[in-house]
Amino acid sequence: MRLSNLLLLNAVIALVFGIGFLLIPGSVLAMYGAAPGPQINLTGQFFAVELIHVGVLAWLIRSVSDGLAQRAIIVAGLVANLVGLVVALIGTLTGVLNSFGWSAVVIYVVLALGYAYFQFMSPRPS
């Protein structure tokens, strides 16, 4: 596996969800069991801003070759996806999210495992 492929996957996931949360926040949030309303829609749109930020950033840095930059990208991706995994698990297990919450858990697991691979298993760039 190459880091550029993981960053491409991260970019696509973040941009697809980000655009969805930006344009149709009520519909996307309803899939997860959130009650519609102007406040929750605005919160979803604020979330979209960060997803789009992550998606564009991952897209633009996917071919970075500097070892120090790669380490920073990997650590940031690992930490963010582990925190997201905990939040998604808590939300799903406590019933705040409906069964569709498991899709968020799976996405965070896949991305966290990818970043963990580059942090702990992949040879360090020279």
CA dihedral sign, ordered 125, 10, 22, 43 = negative
**Spatial CA neighbour of 11 closest among 68, 48, 59, 50:** 59
Residue 61 confidence (pLDDT) above 70 = yes
The token pair at 81 is 């996806």
- The pLDDT tens digits for 64-80 are 999 999 999 999 999 99
What mean pLDDT do residues 40-58 have?
97
* Pair 25, 48: CB distance under 8 Å: yes
Burial of 118 (0-12, 13-18, 19+ CB in 10 A): buried
- Confidence band for 126, pLDDT divided at 50, 70 and 90: very low
Distance (Å) of CA 1 to CA 56, 57, 61, 74: 21, 20, 16, 14
Boundaries of every domain in the chain: 3-121
The token pair at 116 is 């963990």
pLDDT recorded at residue 36: 84
| pTM of the full structure | 0.92
Q: Which residue has the tokens 């970043």?
A: 115
Residue 124 confidence (pLDDT) above 70 = no
Q: What is the rounded CA–CA span in Å between residue 8 and residue 11?
A: 5
Amino acid at 30: A
